[in-house]
Amino acid sequence: MKHPPGWWSISQTMVDSVMEAQTHLREAGMEVKIKEVVCDKGYHATDTIELAESVCLRTYIPERKAKGTRKWRGVAAKKRRAVLRNRRRVRSARSKRLQRRRSELVERSFAHICDTGGARRSWLCGIEKFQKRYLTAR
């Protein structure tokens, strides 16, 4: 999934991106199975966590801050269990280590591209023009 439609939220693309990464690893000759996914709060969605669990991915996705408690009325039991398992994992020491590592690796590369590379904002129209600019910024 190279370019999802602009109206999709990032949480809708997470599982597709992981599956695509798994395909790239296989094509590169690496027999590695992706078992865990560490994301930031923007990726937290009940459907996404349930979908990830259905394809045997263990998620570590923190929840956004909410004003009250979660209302589970009308939510399927399978989805509820998936979210509660994710919540339990996020509170663990392992999750804290993985989140720190994610910040070090991922956010640092974004900082180089956005701040140093000048790709914070783009006034270009069209995917091809934007890709050209992005590739030269890296």
DSSP 36-60: EEE--GGG--HHHHHHHHHTT-EEE
pLDDT score, position 52? 95
Q: Answer for the pair 38, 89: CB distance below 8 angstroms, yes or no.
A: no
The overall average pLDDT reported for the chain is: 84
Tell me whether residue 5 is in a domain.
no
Helix (H, G, I), strand (E, B) or coil at 93: helix
Q: Which residues contact 39 (CB under 8 A, 6 or more apart)?
A: 14, 59, 60, 61, 102
How many domains does one find in the chain? 1
Tell me whether residue 3 is in a domain.
no
pLDDT score, position 81? 97
Range of the domain at 66: 10-137
**Quick check: pTM over 0.85?**
no
pLDDT at residue 120 greater than cutoff 70: no
pLDDT tens readout for residues 56-108 = 999 999 998 988 888 999 999 999 999 999 999 999 999 999 999 998 888 77
